[in-house]
Amino acid sequence: MQFHNLKHISIYAVMLFWLLSSSVSFAADPHVSADAAIVMDVTTGEILFEKNARRQMPPASTTKILTAIVALENGNPLDIVTISKHAAYTEGSSVHLTPGEKLTLDDLLVGLLLRSGNDSAVAIAEHIAGSEQKFAELCNTRAKELGAQNTIFRNPHGLSMPGHYTTAYDLALLARHALTNLPRFADIVSTREDTIEWDGRSYDRQLRNTNKLLWMFEGADGVKTGTTKQAGQCLVSSATRNDQQLVAVVLHSGGRWNDSIQLLQYGFNNFKLLKFADKNSLYQRLTVIKGMQGYIDAVIADEVSVIVPNTIADSIRIEYDLASSIEAPVYHGQKVGEIIIYHQNRIIRVVDIVAGQEVMDRTLVRLIINQLLITYQKLAGWGCF
């Protein structure tokens, strides 16, 4: 069986070929006032437009996206958190926590992501890591693991500090991870209004999401605002239409709502997400020759999807390269085939098909041992032992 060496081709390489061949026409790039901007497809991670997306810049409260990621991945939402004086007296935006007050971690996350509470951010950091400094170390480690290589955070809230920076690209990566892998994060950031308990009061805190795009743009479902004098207007936003989700980032914007709408609208108007199969789905069963079992599940290793310009969506085709059988031994995860997505005669994406189980080769010793085990199980079932 022969497989292509090509694993994945960037959409930009494909676009370059299309442009040079004059077979595809594109709309003009979106005009944005932000110093740095990006719009990314959430499913594939492909960049549809970027402007200074790798420039290191202060992120303001978009920092809280990573704070929420680390909290959700390391804490229990039902944990009871006692608010310290240090957390309660944190400057800037607040949900008015008081020293000694007890709230669940989940309530603090709501306060963090809806009202952008800096006090919530510090309380979360102290609960998860013991201090802001140790929490920042966790954040920086996790950022690198997620591919955000140009991010260093010194605090959990985003108030300006020397050496506290990120990029539009890194923020898009972080938001994509949170939206895709953390359902509670996605639920909170798409919520317009919510309440959390207010200890000692006869009423609850009424929280309204600072992200006005939730009211302004059809399909908007996240993510996080940020504003400081140094960072200017910042926004990480997301929206979903027709099962296609995009995330946009603008940093130091002259008008973050309009900039974000321009980016998201550009993505939806000009690109189409084509989904063919889900990750870990069964393609078919594959016969195993000379194995202790007669077949394996041939499983799709990754989601089979591609985002392409609308103008060529109807010309995308897919092929499957899989032999009718495989010889033992077979190890779990072994590549047994490929799914290839083409535009005309050019490959634009390749996804492996892999073995879903391990199958040992059939030897005389293994056959004898296997038969003895079967006999033992039968005798045990008859009560002979």
The C-alpha angle with vertex 316 and arms to 313 and 322, in degrees rounded to 5, equals: 150
Q: Which of 152, 109, 148, 153 is nearest to 128 (CA)?
A: 109
Catalytic residue (choose from 51, 84, 93, 116): 116
User: Measuring CA to CA, how many Å separate 242 from each of 91, 218, 219, 275, 289?
Assistant: 41, 11, 9, 12, 44
Q: Which of 126, 110, 127 is nearest to 196 (CA)?
A: 110
Q: Which of 142, 148, 186, 188 is nearest to 167 (CA)?
A: 148
- Report the C-alpha gap between 347 and 318 in whole angstroms: 10
Does the active-site annotation cover 64?
Answer: yes
Q: Which regions of 229-345 does DSSP assign to beta strands (E)?
A: 232-241, 244-253, 271-277, 282-289, 295-300, 304-309, 316-322, 325-327, 335-343
Q: What is the DSSP string of 323-352?
A: -SEEESPB-TT-EEEEEEEEETTEEEEEEE
- Report the C-alpha gap between 81 and 63 in whole angstroms: 21
Instruction: Identify whether the C-beta of residue 142 lies closer than 8 Å to the C-beta of residue 73.
Output: yes
Catalytic residue (choose from 64, 120, 190, 238): 64
Distance between first and last Cα of the chain: 49
Tell how far CA 11 is from the center of its chain: 19
Q: Which of 210, 209, 213, 216 is nearest to 247 (CA)?
A: 213
Does the active-site annotation cover 324?
Answer: no
User: Measuring CA to CA, how many Å separate 263 from each of 109, 192, 221, 243, 259?
Assistant: 27, 21, 15, 18, 6
- Give the pair of three-digit tokens for residue 301: 């290793």
Does the active-site annotation cover 61?
Answer: yes
Catalytic residue (choose from 51, 61, 190, 237): 61
- Report the C-alpha gap between 185 and 224 in whole angstroms: 11
Range 98-101, long-range pairs (CB < 8 A, 24+ positions): 98/199, 98/200, 101/199, 101/200
Phi, psi (degrees; rounded to nearest 5) at 345: -105, 15
Residues labelled as active-site residues: 61, 64, 116
